[in-house]
């Protein structure tokens, strides 16, 4: 007796993409020809026959319409066009990053200018910038210096960004977030 392998745990996947030809379940469909002309409402079988005569497929473009809108085109070309559109849309979208710049209340003016220059570079690229002023030891008694530093930062980056999160005290640091205009 030959052993037959059975896949009990095989997944049943739904067919991906738009419904085409015999998978269209609506009795009546609005048909658009391969040249883009509206052929009107036809029975699904009649529309499939017209598509087959042209050597193309009947593809459901708008399934939620009443009756569903179908177009006579090659399914491979249609899927390729959808893929290209998705790729183009993904290419255009911009991911906004959060860059962090850490300072101390006793940061020297040259270091401060260098960090502000970097912050301006980040803001022009379209990234958010998180400023953190850290306090150590006895510096905790002079939190006023940290708030003054945050005010100075706000004024120096005002032409490129606006304050999203106002300066607030969290533990041993003051945090502020600036977003690009």
> Domains in the chain and their CATH numbers?
21-81 (3.10.20.80), 98-180 (3.30.110.10)
Residue 8: its pLDDT value, please? 67
- Whether pTM > 0.75 for this model: the answer is no
Is pLDDT of 11 > 80? no
Residue 96: its pLDDT value, please? 78
Query: What's the mean pLDDT when you consider all of the chain?
Result: 89
Split at pLDDT 50, 70, 90, the class of 20 is: confident
The mean-pLDDT minimum among 3-7, 77-81, 98-102, 170-174 falls in: 3-7
In sequence order, which residues have a C-beta less than 8 Å from that of residue 57 and are 6 or more positions away? Answer: 20, 21, 51, 72, 73, 74, 75, 78
Residues 128-146 pLDDT 10s: 999 999 999 998 998 999 9
Distances (CA, A) of 85 to 35, 79, 170: 21, 10, 45
Residue 21: its pLDDT value, please? 87
How much of the chain is in helix, strand and coil states, percent to nearest 5?
Answer: 40, 30, 35
CA angle 128, 165, 161 (to 5 degrees): 45
């Amino acid at each position: 007796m030959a052993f037959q392998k059975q896949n009990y745990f095989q997944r049943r996947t739904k067919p991906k993409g738009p419904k085409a030809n015999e998978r269209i379940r609506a009795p009546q469909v609005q048909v658009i020809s391969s040249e883009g002309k509206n052929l009107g409402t036809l029975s699904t079988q009649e529309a499939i026959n017209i598509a087959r005569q042209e050597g193309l497929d009947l593809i459901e473009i708008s399934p939620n319409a009443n009756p569903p809108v179908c177009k006579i085109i090659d399914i491979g070309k249609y899927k390729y066009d959808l893929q290209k559109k998705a790729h183009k849309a993904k290419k255009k979208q911009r991911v906004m990053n959060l860059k962090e710049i850490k300072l101390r209340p006793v940061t020297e003016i040259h270091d401060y200018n260098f960090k502000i220059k970097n912050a301006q570079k980040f803001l022009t690229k379209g990234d958010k910038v998180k400023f953190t002023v850290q306090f150590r030891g006895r510096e905790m008694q002079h939190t006023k210096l940290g708030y003054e530093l945050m005010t100075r930062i706000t004024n120096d980056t005002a032409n490129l960004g606006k304050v999203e999160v106002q300066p607030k005290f969290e533990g041993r640091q003051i945090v502020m977030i600036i977003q690009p205009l």
